[in-house]
Structure 1
Amino acid sequence: MSPPALPRILLPRAPALVAGIREAVWLDLDGEFHHLPLAEAAARARAEPALVCHAPAVAGRLGLDQMAAIDLLELFAFVRPARFCLPTPRGLAEALNLAPPGDAEDAAELLIRAARILLEELAERTGQDSAARAGDTRSAAWAMAKAGWSWSTSVLAALGVSGDSGRGGSLRVWERLPEWSDHAPEPAPGNQPVEPEAARKRLAELLGANAEHRPAQADYASAASQAFIPRERVGEPRLVLAEAGTGTGKTLGYIAPASLWAEANGAPVWLSTYTRNLQRQLDGELDRLYRDPGTKARKVVVRKGRENYLCLLNFEEMVSRHRPADAVGAGLMARWALATRDGDMVGGDFPGWLPDLVGRARSIGLTDRRGECIFSACPHFSRCFIERAIRKARRADLVIANHALVLVQAALGGLDDESQPQRLVFDEGHHLFEAADSAFSAHLTGFEAAEVRRWLLGPEGDGARSRARGLKKRAEDLLGLAEEAPEALDAALLAAQCLPGPGWQVRISEGQPNGATERFLGLARQQVLARSQAPDSPYSLEAECQPPIEGLREAACDLANHLGRLGQPLTVLATCLKKALDDEARELDSATRSRIESLSRSIQRRVLLPLAGWKGMLDDLSAGPQDRVVDWFGIDRIDGRDVDAGMHRHWIDPGIPFAKTVLEPAHGVLITSATLRDGTAEQGWLAAERRLGAVHLAAAPFRAAMPSPFDYAAQTRVLVVTDVRKDDMAQVAAAYRELFLASGGGALGLFTAISRLKAVHGRIAGPLDQAGLTLLAQHIDNLDTATLVDIFRSEEESCLLGTDAVRDGVDVPGRSLRLIVFDRVPWPRPDILHRHRRAEFGGKAYDDMIARLRLKQAFGRLIRRAGDHGVFVALDPMMPSRLYSAFPEGCEVKKVGLAEAVRITREFLGGA
């Protein structure tokens, strides 16, 4: 191999393109700027690839489905893998420590400057790297170059690669990753309590000597410590419900006693929050406790489900296909895999915009989203990211999890190979009702049943070249350990034919079902259409299960029998494999034992548990309505197209299974939020205890409430606009436009329906762009929600439109969020499930409680620190005054016309 050539910086000979809402700026090779209509810019972009930042977003602005471009973000991901960058010219400037662009011309120039800086950095860093690391970089670049990567000439020049000098290990990064090692089992946790004064002292250490004195925060830490004293009876955890108003500082308030308990008792405390994005924020807060990164890496672990981590076997299989279309994505993934902290691709250090550039199949599609892990049979098992995280969590002090993981794993009977956590903190506790509702529900739908079939049989038909691995492939080399196992496997695979096969959606919609499941689904679909008031609606439909149409009971009975015939041999297979652990104990190596245990558990979780739930639903269809659960049939539609159909079951009160499977086994649990209660003090606590399952425990919880330190009367204005018809989208859009202009940006528009959001966006995007305000929108921009929020947070003059996910996930302190506009009162959707819960939880008062909590949660986004000021506007003249208690005491709710609301917004925020 010839020695690497000296590096040189060779920029692509290409124009730079920045697209706005109304026009685009084209910087040509002669350095001349052209302000073009979007249609003309699109024509030029089709004819000549340009330098851009986030090609899919630019294409969307230009009205193109896709475009050939030289994307700066691809270069950034190559040079700085696992590093944060907002996918905008301003974001690039911030990441590279450059002055932010003042206008579109500045942004176009910035793209060229950023390219040069990144290429210079690549050349310098590679020259300083070890031979192995530099070789990895050159190999990745060479592999991408052979596939025609748009940056290949520039990158190879910067790396000093010429001829075949870039060849080497190519993309086999799994060979470079470190191996994890097992440790002896951890001893049982101790039972030393955390005293309130000790919690206060630890909190003071976290805050530092110069921190602002906040008595409510210290009181909160004392109250939280009650969850960290030994329980006295089995099934009676030390449960603390703590409401901490915004600004109290509850995160550090519970970290203080949690960290003390973990240190004193030699076991982790699980800190669970609602979203993966909030996990990232909580992880950042722990830098205060563990200032040394090495110590933090040992003491803190972020845990998520397997579907969040890069699967090295999936990655190897993609690389081994040698398809040119995969090469760029594979190269960028290889760069990230060697740099990542923990392999987390959802909310970790993986760029949220990278799937937009290389495709989901070549990025987050490489996770184990379908439960196909083969555990120790995998050649990369000893380097597996998720297995490393599981083992680290056993020895950590603090495990940062999310509600979905904790509740789903509890519902399934355990957290992977871990025992149930003894001490739990649920932050954002007001979401536990919804999280429990999801975790303990069951869905006998075409999609779910087809997934079970695919897990058992592997790829069929057109999917034969997919990475899916059927049960036979996972189990075949283990079958010799038990005499009955091969016959049981063959019987199970034959019985799985009763589940929906490829093309099931078309067959049931055309009335030509194939097999017992498709026949049942076709009749369920028929019942929904027959009993719907608007069967041609573009939205999802539902119908009560009772009374069933002719033939549906018989189809349900037939399907239940088929599911029984599928479950019986699988039960035999799982039992045989477990028995082999005992019969062959002397001969089995640890890797084989681990595989047997994992496969048995997977059969139970992936197939037998769903089958049992489905069979129970089918059996109950003949018995009539049940007391504690509600069943219904549904058709799921997206943009008017049927995507799924089936039968659904939810607990009317999901607090019952939550209390049984999560709370009762624990020794201590803290559930905390800024919005646990609704209504008066006592009634609010009773409602909170009902929604959180506390009423189903033998012992009463410990209650604590700390008010917010903010002066809401001085820092906020709350307005209800009385002269805008909420059903007239032209009027609603005009109100959003004028309010956003009055605030000068920093505005969050919240919507109760995606269709309303899109209708407003189409009317106001142009006027806001003309005024110099960036408009971001969930469900419209080609960016994930977390990235949209990151951009919104970083730019004070931007505006953001969103729905529930934005309302619940925004944490934007300062002037970047100074106005919230709600399109109408967020009443609960009047579906079948809500009707049953309404009857169970108090009728109209239940509707009011949900609406107040949603308003309270949205208002809580507005003021995040002492210097913030903000305006909250509801565009609903029918908003009843009984909902005003959603806002903090001291906030006066004013009913005004739109013109007055605009004047108040401009004057109040202009002086803030």
Structure 2
Amino acid sequence: MNAPLPYPALHASHGGIWITSPDGETRSIGRGEAIARAAETPMILLNAPLIGQRLGYPELSGLDLLELFAFIHPARFAVPTPKGLARAIGLAPPENDAEAAGFLRRAAEALLSRPADPHWAEREGAWSSAQSLFRMRWAWAGALIERLHKPVRDERWLFAKLPEWEEKAPRAAPRTISLPVEDVTARLDHLTGHGAEARPGQRSYAEAVTAAFEPRERRDEPNMILAEAGTGIGKTLGYLAPASLWAERAEGPVWISTYTKALQRQLSRESERLFPDARIRRTKVVLRKGRENYLCLLNLEDALQGGFQGRAAILAQLVARWAGFSADGDMVGGDLPGWLGTLFRRNGQTALTDRRGECVYAGCPHYRKCFIERAARASADADIVVANHALVMVNAARGREAQNKPSRIVFDEGHHLFDAADSMFSTALSGQEAIELRRWVTGPESGSKGRRRGLAARLSDVASYDQEGGTAIGAAVQAAQLLPSDGWLQRLNESAPFGPVEALLAAVRGTVYARGGAEDAGYGLETEMAEPDGALVSAAQNAAEALDALLRPLVKLGKRLEAVMEDSPDWMDAQARARIEGAIASLGWRTDTLAGWLSLLSRVGGPANPDFVDWLAVDRVEGREYDIGLHRHWLDPTRPVAEVVLKPAHGVVITSATLKGGGDWENAEARSGAHHLMRPATRFESPSPFDYAKQAEVLIVTDVKKGDIAQLAGAYGRLIMAAEGGTLGLFTAIRRLRAVHARIADRLAREGLPLYAQHVDPIDTGTLVDIFRDDPRASLLGTDALRDGVDVPGDSLRLVLMEGVPWPKPTVLHAARRLAGGGSAYDDRLIRARMAQAFGRLIRRADDRGMFVMLSAAMPSRLLTAFPPGTPILRVTLDEAVTRVKERLSSVMISGQDSGLPALTETQ
């Protein structure tokens, strides 16, 4: 029997600090003692970065239970709180913070006892991994090795264990069919289940979107449906009914595109209704994401063989444990816990993914086991492919899967299509982008470690076979030496730029500081690309010559690779062919980027292009510069969406609960790209079935002074306490969020009300939402990402607080679009859309009750149409708001029923 752990346990919250000794004694201690004890004695902790932040000791380290959980149960998730961990490992949770430290010791013993369980499902690979971690001096390794036994037979190593995908013949084009409406409704009845409550809105919705699956009449004129379905309609099953039926009968895939990971998870759950058998479901429903989301096995191998050092090497071992049990290798939103990477601070997990476009495809020894390639091939044979807006656009614009382009697409969360397109089709010539291109061409800088290789190393066989190709590679490597390199920002600060591109960035920086104003704001500065001075024009011309000198050999190299493919020399087997095909695709991406940069530079001192908005920017965080560059966005980014995504499709559904964005159908068509199509889109609208007059209430607080942080913090604190937690607080500025959090977190903790915050707590956003959802007394503060990506039905979210009207930030891009879109009317549409999305977080089910509070007396009545018709709206003082929240929401916690308060409604 193993001896009890000789380590104390430490727990810290905003309400206090507690330590439990190895003999079980728990006591409250001060911050200074906690730091001193943690510095001299290994402590059992839960989420060391978070505890360290609360102690004001960011370098805190110890025996983190989350790391141990990730080793014992890879590819499983636990909410990273004492209660969440207790539930994940089957222990009784602590009743309060004072009991949490003692619980941490019990949790450690429970986790360490798992290897003795003959039914431990994640035993494979544990012994060899623990040996490696012991050599790395991982805090838990010694205790683990005492409890693990060397396997009788050698364990299969990760790269031998992973299954290989197989090549298949291209899938035939979908058959041309029509779907009888009665068959669609029958499929919907099957999905909703026998005896389900009749939902006329859902049935009408399913019938309406079926038109998108009819054969199209003319090329470039898809059957397009714009469908606004209010919250509670059940639009997911509504479009899955015709989509699944069409995929089954036409033998073709339907792509369902989302904007948030929350909806992707929801779709995965709903797909269980379609295919209850898990094995069949894995082949019929495939989740696709961009390459940068998946673990790169070649990067992992490099990390395990010495490419990572210190804490990063420990992370690599834990990720390797996870990879052996992962369903799909998705490191962002998949079955890798989102909190794992944050435990390692600066030694993050991004280096284990392919974020640099360096994939060598079939040249990789793990190509046949690659998670990315497996997902791509699985999607080619799937019925339903769940992706995101960005991936759909990338594949359409420059994807390698031309034969598998979808003919039927459903864009759920369609109100985000404009923003996704704005990001996808933009151009940025910045220091960070330029240095990344240099590394892609030249390989690692001198002295750097890792597997990174330049063009010459990746295409050495081509260079030796084709002289012209080798010459082009050499010319590209030489030309890339003029791009920014490590230390470029410091050289700019010292007025000593190296090379024409760094000189351009220095000129941009000077222009922005001269014209941008508001230096004391501490955040990014920008200015229009108008009336450039002579120094900027001259620098742009020199930079353009340098970039052109790089573009020309890359274009030539692409042509030589195509010629080699045609020659098909003896050494070109299937793997070499696939690798060269990948290199051609990657070169196409880079040459497109360079061509975009040259077009942008031609604008400096030249005529403006009315289709684009161009500006100069210095990106900063709290006064610290991290990038400088020139930027170009489409004035209307739905134009390229219409050309490369919508027109080639046969049928498209664009749907959302707030598709019109609080405006009219013209707004929905403008922000979806429908107005660029010859054939007009069909419109469908179904209001939410919820009784907002009884389920919700909007309060506009009139006596919180704008800009007074003390008043703002006081209002947040009082309202959260009145609601007894369950509050989502939304901010338009990170500085105000941090200031409010600092003032109220301790006070709320003393009342037993945990408070978490984006940009404060060292936890990823997805995990913050999981923590919030898990505890009805917790509250969460955040910015735009939480306004759009939170799905928390039930009592855990019963109050939404907004610090003020979400006015658009006055950027160069916004000013141009505002001018083109109708001035203040354009602003009003954006604001109504944002408020509608924020309000939409509140009522997610028929039994939800909640309140929406706006802390701004300057809320114009014309914007109140953002809220669903019938929603009670009151203008009240803060005292009145606190009273109404307390009386109305206290009943929600007790019985889930409305308090019956009279609802005085402002006319909408």
Maintained 8 Å contact 1:10/1:157: no
Structure 2 residue 106 is matched with structure 1 residue 113? yes
Structure 2 residue 435 is matched with structure 1 residue 442? no
Distance 1:218 1:36, change over 3 A: same
* Alignment-derived partner of residue 40 in structure 2: 47
User: Structure 2 matches for 1:587-606, cutoff 5 A?
Assistant: 588-605=572-589
Q: Quick one: distance in 2 between partners of 1:500 and 1:115? A: 49
277-286 or 51-60, larger mean C-alpha shift: 277-286
* Alignment-derived partner of residue 537 in structure 2: 553
Structure 2 residue 525 is matched with structure 1 residue 568? no
Counterpart pick for 1:635 among 608, 612, 618:
618
**How far off is 1:110 after superposition?**
2.2
628-637 or 363-372, larger mean C-alpha shift: 363-372
Structure 2 residue 660 is matched with structure 1 residue 677? yes
Counterpart pick for 1:151 among 137, 140, 143:
140
SS of residue in 2 equivalent to 1:622: coil
Q: Quick one: distance in 1 between partners of 2:378 and 2:798? A: 41
Q: Quick one: distance in 2 between partners of 1:744 and 1:543? A: 45
Maintained 8 Å contact 1:427/1:673: yes
**How far off is 1:581 after superposition?**
1.2
- Residue type at the aligned position of 2:835: L
1:303-328 CA-to-partner distances (Å, cap 9, x unmatched) read 11111111111111111118564543
Q: Quick one: distance in 1 between partners of 2:446 and 2:520? A: 31
Distance 1:864 1:633, change over 3 A: same
Structure 2 residue 224 is matched with structure 1 residue 232? no
Counterpart pick for 1:540 among 524, 533, 555:
524
Q: Quick one: distance in 2 between partners of 1:679 and 1:382? A: 49
* Alignment-derived partner of residue 646 in structure 1: 629
Distance 1:26 1:898, change over 3 A: same
Structure 2 residue 641 is matched with structure 1 residue 658? yes
Structure 2 residue 704 is matched with structure 1 residue 724? yes
**How far off is 1:120 after superposition?**
2.6
Q: Quick one: distance in 2 between partners of 1:637 and 1:569? A: 35
Maintained 8 Å contact 1:481/1:577: no
Counterpart pick for 2:248 among 243, 263, 285:
263
Maintained 8 Å contact 1:82/1:340: yes
Q: Quick one: distance in 2 between partners of 1:43 and 1:22? A: 19
Distance 1:195 1:753, change over 3 A: farther
- Residue type at the aligned position of 1:381: Y
Distance 1:876 1:135, change over 3 A: closer
Counterpart pick for 2:278 among 272, 293, 301:
293
- Residue type at the aligned position of 1:614: W
* Alignment-derived partner of residue 477 in structure 1: 461
1:719-739 CA-to-partner distances (Å, cap 9, x unmatched) read 000000121111011000000
Q: Quick one: distance in 1 between partners of 2:13 and 2:124? A: 40
* Alignment-derived partner of residue 676 in structure 2: 696
Maintained 8 Å contact 1:525/1:645: yes
SS of residue in 2 equivalent to 1:643: strand
Q: Quick one: distance in 2 between partners of 1:393 and 1:559? A: 42
Counterpart pick for 1:188 among 173, 177, 186:
173
Identical aligned pairs, as a percentage? 49
Counterpart pick for 2:415 among 422, 430, 447:
430
Maintained 8 Å contact 2:225/2:654: yes
1:423-449 CA-to-partner distances (Å, cap 9, x unmatched) read 111111101110000011000111111
SS of residue in 1 equivalent to 2:627: strand
Maintained 8 Å contact 1:774/1:797: yes
* Alignment-derived partner of residue 499 in structure 1: 483
279-288 or 810-819, larger mean C-alpha shift: 279-288
* Alignment-derived partner of residue 453 in structure 1: 438
Q: Quick one: distance in 2 between partners of 1:29 and 1:779? A: 35
* Alignment-derived partner of residue 515 in structure 2: 531
Q: Quick one: distance in 2 between partners of 1:770 and 1:324? A: 38
Maintained 8 Å contact 1:143/1:327: no
* Alignment-derived partner of residue 274 in structure 1: 259
Structure 2 residue 716 is matched with structure 1 residue 733? no
Q: Quick one: distance in 1 between partners of 2:272 and 2:419? A: 30
Distance 1:511 1:189, change over 3 A: same
Maintained 8 Å contact 2:662/2:836: no
Q: How many residues are aligned here?
A: 891
Maintained 8 Å contact 1:135/1:168: no
Maintained 8 Å contact 2:434/2:484: yes
Q: Quick one: distance in 1 between partners of 2:825 and 2:358? A: 46
- Residue type at the aligned position of 2:191: L
Q: Quick one: distance in 1 between partners of 2:656 and 2:662? A: 16
- Residue type at the aligned position of 1:676: L
Q: Quick one: distance in 2 between partners of 1:488 and 1:415? A: 24
Distance 1:125 1:257, change over 3 A: farther
* Alignment-derived partner of residue 138 in structure 1: 127
* Alignment-derived partner of residue 905 in structure 2: none
SS of residue in 1 equivalent to 2:29: strand
TM-score between both structures, scaled by the size of structure 1: 0.95
**How far off is 1:177 after superposition?**
1.1
- Residue type at the aligned position of 1:111: L
Structure 2 unaligned regions, length at least 5: 893-908
Q: Quick one: distance in 1 between partners of 2:644 and 2:345? A: 39
Q: Quick one: distance in 1 between partners of 2:788 and 2:262? A: 11
23-32 or 646-655, larger mean C-alpha shift: 23-32
Maintained 8 Å contact 2:616/2:629: yes
* Alignment-derived partner of residue 394 in structure 2: 408
Structure 2 residue 808 is matched with structure 1 residue 828? yes
* Alignment-derived partner of residue 609 in structure 2: 626
- Residue type at the aligned position of 2:657: A
Q: Quick one: distance in 2 between partners of 1:324 and 1:643? A: 26
* Alignment-derived partner of residue 4 in structure 1: none
Counterpart pick for 1:420 among 405, 430, 433:
405
User: Structure 2 matches for 1:76-225, cutoff 5 A?
Assistant: 76-125=69-118, 134=123, 136-161=125-150, 172-225=157-210
Q: Quick one: distance in 1 between partners of 2:374 and 2:807? A: 44
Maintained 8 Å contact 2:302/2:450: no
SS of residue in 2 equivalent to 1:551: helix
* Alignment-derived partner of residue 596 in structure 2: 613
Maintained 8 Å contact 1:822/1:875: yes
Q: Quick one: distance in 2 between partners of 1:507 and 1:147? A: 37
Q: Quick one: distance in 2 between partners of 1:873 and 1:657? A: 39
Distance 1:219 1:193, change over 3 A: same
**How far off is 1:113 after superposition?**
2.3
Distance 1:319 1:896, change over 3 A: same
Structure 2 residue 468 is matched with structure 1 residue 488? no
- Residue type at the aligned position of 2:726: G
Maintained 8 Å contact 1:245/1:708: yes
Maintained 8 Å contact 1:9/1:120: no
Structure 1 unaligned regions, length at least 5: 1-7
SS of residue in 2 equivalent to 1:856: helix
1:452-508 CA-to-partner distances (Å, cap 9, x unmatched) read 11110111145x213322111111122234231111111111111221111111122
**How far off is 1:100 after superposition?**
2.7
* Alignment-derived partner of residue 252 in structure 1: 237
**How far off is 1:794 after superposition?**
0.6
Maintained 8 Å contact 1:142/1:167: no
Q: Quick one: distance in 2 between partners of 1:10 and 1:329? A: 28
Distance 1:384 1:191, change over 3 A: same
Q: Quick one: distance in 2 between partners of 1:859 and 1:374? A: 46
SS of residue in 2 equivalent to 1:704: strand
Maintained 8 Å contact 1:243/1:675: yes
- Residue type at the aligned position of 1:659: A
Structure 2 residue 748 is matched with structure 1 residue 763? no
Q: Quick one: distance in 1 between partners of 2:8 and 2:123? A: 31
Maintained 8 Å contact 1:138/1:166: no
**How far off is 1:117 after superposition?**
2.4
Maintained 8 Å contact 1:11/1:115: no
SS of residue in 2 equivalent to 1:488: helix
- Residue type at the aligned position of 1:741: M
Structure 2 residue 651 is matched with structure 1 residue 668? yes
